Amino acid sequence: MKSLKIGFGLLVAILIFLFVPLPYYITYPGEATTIEEFMTVEGGDKEPGELKMVTISQRRATPLWLVGSWFTPFTEASPASRYLYDGESEADYERRQELLMSSSQQAAIQYAYELADADVTVTFDGMYVSAPITGSLAANVLKPGDVITALDGQSFASRLDFIERVASFEAGDEVSVTLERDGREREVDTLIQPLDRSGDRVGLGIYEPLPVQDVRTDPEVSFELTNVGGPSAGLMFTLEIFDQLTPGDLTGGAIIAGTGTVDEMGTVGPIGGAWQKIVAADEAGASVFFVPAGSNYEEAMESLDRLDSDIEVVPVQTVEEAIDYLESMN
């Protein structure tokens, strides 16, 4: 009987070690995927070279994975709070990542078509509330999934217009927010809040407001990408769309990888995991790895020092800088 209890205890301990989730996420280098495999511009030119997006893989930690991360190169364990907002469920987090990916694709389409002088029309519907900041006044009246359509009765024409409208207020100003929730329009009142101690930056008290919009193009562009979230492929999406819209091979026949967000103005923004993504780019045989200038570039270079690789790490601040670099290669 005693041996049976010991055996049962060992079995429970093993199951806990293998399967019980911990409040940590494990991240490690993912894959480099050729974008033209899942993105097509109708009638666009597809060339021998490859433009690749790179990812990091992420999973909830168990004791086994946590211990394994300590001994696996380019692997990191981070508290769940690094990824989840206060009160945000994993389902909400996944939904937010899907929306960030969709927003990234829309911004890439918009800017690439404008850059290639092709037809693009954007119908703006409002700003999606990823989540109100816990403890903010907005948390009393706004919910994840709300779509803000007007402030003080005035609608806005774009994401930038929304940001400028909010910035025009002062901390403590009362504002009426028109929003859509569960298919119904409603109005709520809240106060503009300081975002830092200086009070120079103000906001509504929400995380990552995302544009809700419809982007129409001629020729049409389509994505067939699943199980990948986040905004970090924006730069490479933009380059691939521009390449298919314009004559010639932007890559010169080479394998080009990269990462970086992009907005409708073509600005390349920082991302997470650059030090891990360069590993995926190198394993895919890329000769060039585009990365946002600044801290992302510095961390990628630190990883490069650990790799036996001659991949060229190129920091960029705009889409045009990446295009200019590729054209100079050719």
**Amino acid sitting at position 37:** E
Q: How many CB atoms lie within 10 A of CB 2?
A: 6
Please give the span between the terminal C-alpha atoms of the chain, in angstroms, as a whole number. Answer: 76
Report how far residue 33's alpha carbon sits from residue 38's, in angstroms, rounded to the nearest whole number.
9
Two tokens at 126? 């409002």
Q: What is the largest CA-CA distance in the chain?
A: 79
Can you tell me the distance from the alpha carbon of 202 to that of 183, in angstroms, rounded to the nearest whole number?
A: 29
Report which residue type is found at 261: T
Which of 176, 277, 287, 295 does the annotation list as catalytic? 277
Can you tell me the distance from the alpha carbon of 13 to that of 229, in angstroms, rounded to the nearest whole number?
34
Distance CA 314, CA 299 (A): 12
Alpha carbons 105 and 210: distance in angstroms, whole number: 12
Helices marked H in the chain = 2-19, 63-69, 90-115, 159-167, 234-245, 274-283, 295-306, 319-329
| Neighbour-count burial of 183, counting CB atoms closer than 10 A to its CB (0-12 exposed, 13-18 middle, 19+ buried) | exposed
Catalytic annotation present for 143: no
| Residue 277 a catalytic site member | yes
Q: Which of 103, 104, 232, 303 is catalytic?
A: 232
Sequence letter at residue 52: K
Tell how far CA 100 is from the center of its chain.
5
Beta bridge mates, 119: 218
Distance of CA 45 to the CA centre of its chain: 27
CA distance 319 to 102: 19
Strand partners, 193: 203
| Active-site annotation, residues | 232, 277
